[in-house]
Structure 1
Amino acid sequence: MLVDTSKEVRDPDVSAVAALDEPTRRRLYDHVVRQPIPVSRDEAAAALGLARKTAAFHLDRLADALLLDVVYERRSGRSGPGAGRPAKLYRRSARQVAVTLPDRRYELAGRLLAQAVEESDATGEPVRRVLHRKADELGRQLGEQNKTNVFDLLERYGFEPRREGDVIVLSNCPFHTLAQEHTETVCGMNLHLLSGILNGLDAAGLQACLAPSPGRCCVQLQPAAQEAV
């Protein structure tokens, strides 16, 4: 899920992908995720012909990047005094890593659309009305849970904000392909999401307005006293 442009924001997914750029680390990752049970440092080192210290270093780096989970088990099956210390083992993390450039957030859109369809089917309320409400609720949650400035939160969620006078223009649409094919539905969802974010952040001086323009998001943030374009 945005950013003060004077600060560097490191996307954890980008960091995870960068961790796999090192050839030995990538080989270890591929080996671990193909195994049916967690793998020890000794097992990984023997399988790939590496020194144990080298394998341990790279496995821990993969764990630091949240690409692998660490578990501790006694492989002997023994317990109690004399059973020895549990071994440090590695297995695939449940975390999903996805990097797109420019930043896209199709999973977020998919969840909102699925929730809207399910609630509409259950209640009979028009699906678009439900979608707008769900988007506004999510935006409020994001704003309330990430008390920061508007730029930081918008940057975090891929909108690439920049100022043009007293207006904040969003240079990227995180839902670009969907918005191209289903413009009215997705842009309406986006408008209510951003309105919710502003409310969650208590950014009373700004309002989200539809202002379609080629090469940018269909929504921009204008001074609250200014009429929507």
Structure 2
Amino acid sequence: MPNKPPRSSAEMTADHFALSPKQKIVLDVLQDFPDGARASDIAELLGVHINTVRGHLDELVESRAVETITAAASGRGRPSLLFRSRVPNSDDLNAQHVALIEELTHNMSYEDGLELGRSWAKRLGLAGSTDEDNLIALLHRLGFTPQRRGETIHLNSCPFVHDGHMPGIAICAIHEGFIRTSLRMADESIDVTPLGGDGYCTLRVIQD
């Protein structure tokens, strides 16, 4: 019998652990310490009593969102107990995925990007699944923060813009192909314009 694969990274997100708001705050601070931090370090940064922080850390350890490690010995005395997040930083994870996809599509033509986007929609079973009324919801799920302006939809954010760097044109083509294939209308009824405005792309559904 083959070995089982590792756990999905999706199972290691903060949302998966159903943390309380205060636990999330402690975890967010802890993620800034990849080598681990003492409870006193977290308490000082948050400006709360160390016993309060210890209580949250104990709960995070119990839920397996955080692990404990022993600091390297330095001088006399008992080594410090450090707490380290087991939950990946979502911003770092997203940046790594963006870099990987951009590398894979670096030499891809616009036409090949369109075809890849079509295949993506079909693979997810979304071909022809979305009407105009549900288009905004689809664009939200893709991370575009859509806003309707008359017959035009402004796409105010992009999951592939990182540190102000624009994605390659193939990335735009992939999303265009995905959207076109998902919609229940002919390709010629949709006009997608990358950078159609200052700080946004545009999508227009052309009515017959």
Query: Normalized against structure 2, the TM-score is what?
Result: 0.49
Q: Which has the higher contact order (CA 8 A, sep 6+)?
A: 1
